[in-house]
Amino acid sequence: MKIFISHPIKDEYLATMLKTILEQEDEIEIAYIAQKIKKYELEISNKIIDQINDSDCLVAIITKNSISSASVNQELGYAQGKNIPKIPLIEKDAVQGVLIYGKDVEEFQRETFEDTCKQVRDYLLDNKNMILKNEQNKNKESSESFLSTRNLLNLQDEYFALNSNSRKLHQRIVGPISAFRPLVLFSACPCHIYDDLVKAASPKLSEWINSINSIILDDKTTQFRIGSKEKITMDSISYHYFVSDPKEHTKYVEFNQNGFLEEGITYPLIREDNVEGKEYIFLHLCWVTGIFWQFLEVCRKYYEFLKFDEPIDVFLPIRKSDAMTLFGFGGKVSENTTWVEPYDRNWHIEDPKTDMSNIQLKIEKIKPSNLTKL
């Protein structure tokens, strides 16, 4: 259980005393004590925001000196906005701010502050499950609620992987099977989403996006963002690409202000070909693998740009996988099994396909900084 301690700079010794007593218990970890220097005491920095986000509970020490410390109220307000449990410790006769007025507080006097610290420690231990459950439910509900709007939760859903951007993708295939609309997505979503992680129309975001037209993988340069059609909405910035017909998008990249990132592709990952007089729709697995590694590198760079290193989930959804023939690796799978490719001599025996209507691979709860640097 991680605890963030907020305090006025003049009363750092009280925070140190609280930290010492709380850390006597193995179950309690101090995520951060807000160290400040005088000229920055009115600010709430990105580092402090990151540490509050990473905490299970915030303990605020409010003293007679707090009236000159705007940062304590800012930290309380930020925690309240993120539904992080708060324990206000208020010195007797200190002025109460609006964020704690009328709420249950623990009153203390300096000469007995050690006893107050022990009471806080006991409260945290007695209510550990409730505090952690609050955090877990908050994370689960916020991420799942958003992902449900992207149709990324239920593989059996007929609208799986279809959203406002992916619905516009065309696989450039002529024939009745195009109605199935197969597509491939690469998605990344923070386990706990913040609506204001980045402003969609921020010049800094646009400048950063323009700097990653390509990604270098194993000394080879691969294209990430090509084309020029751009759409900026209140909550996201999206780039749509086409091969020849402007009405037929074959790729898009979306950056959402809550930290969600998605790349959607049909052609050339999904393409049409004729083998021995029969029409096939191919899913090029080798290219899917390469673009997935490219996407992970973009994720690492993107969240580094946002200064965001909380756990994320990474998804690889493939829609209508049973409508496609798998293609791209070749060679032997085992001593007695060969992965056939078009025009192989074993091709006519059995086409490499899957019976799964949709496929979703998922990497769960990985910090962006732990993604391999390529």
Report percent pLDDT > 70 for the chain.
Answer: 73
Q: Are strands 2-6 and 57-62 parallel, antiparallel or unpaired?
A: parallel
Collect the ranges in the chain with pLDDT lower than 50: 37-42, 98-99, 101-103, 176, 178-179
pLDDT tens track for 149-207: 889 988 988 889 998 888 888 876 655 454 467 999 999 999 887 766 777 667 788 78
Q: What is the crossing angle of helices 128-149 and 113-126, to 10°?
A: 60
SS3 of residue 155 by DSSP? coil
Tokens of 244: 């020849």
Q: What is the crossing angle of helices 70-81 and 46-53, to 10°?
A: 40
pLDDT tens track for 200-231: 667 788 788 888 877 776 666 767 766 655 66
Alpha helices in the chain (DSSP H): 12-22, 46-53, 70-81, 113-126, 128-149, 203-210, 285-305
The backbone torsions φ and ψ at residue 140, rounded to the nearest 5 degrees and listed phi first, read -65, -45
pLDDT for residue 267: 84
pLDDT for residue 190: 92
- Say which residues have a Cβ less than 8 Å from residue 363's Cβ, sequence separation at least 6: 313, 314
Q: What is the crossing angle of helices 113-126 and 12-22, to 10°?
A: 40
Closest by CA to 192, choosing from 282, 247, 259, is 259
So where are the chain's domains? 2-126, 145-370
What are the counts of helices (DSSP H) followed by strands (DSSP E) for the chain?
7, 19
pLDDT for residue 310: 87
* Spatial separation of the C-alpha atoms in residues 162 and 140, rounded to whole Å: 22
pLDDT tens track for 57-77: 999 888 887 665 667 877 887
Q: Note the CATH architecture for domain 2-126.
A: 3-Layer(aba) Sandwich (3.40)
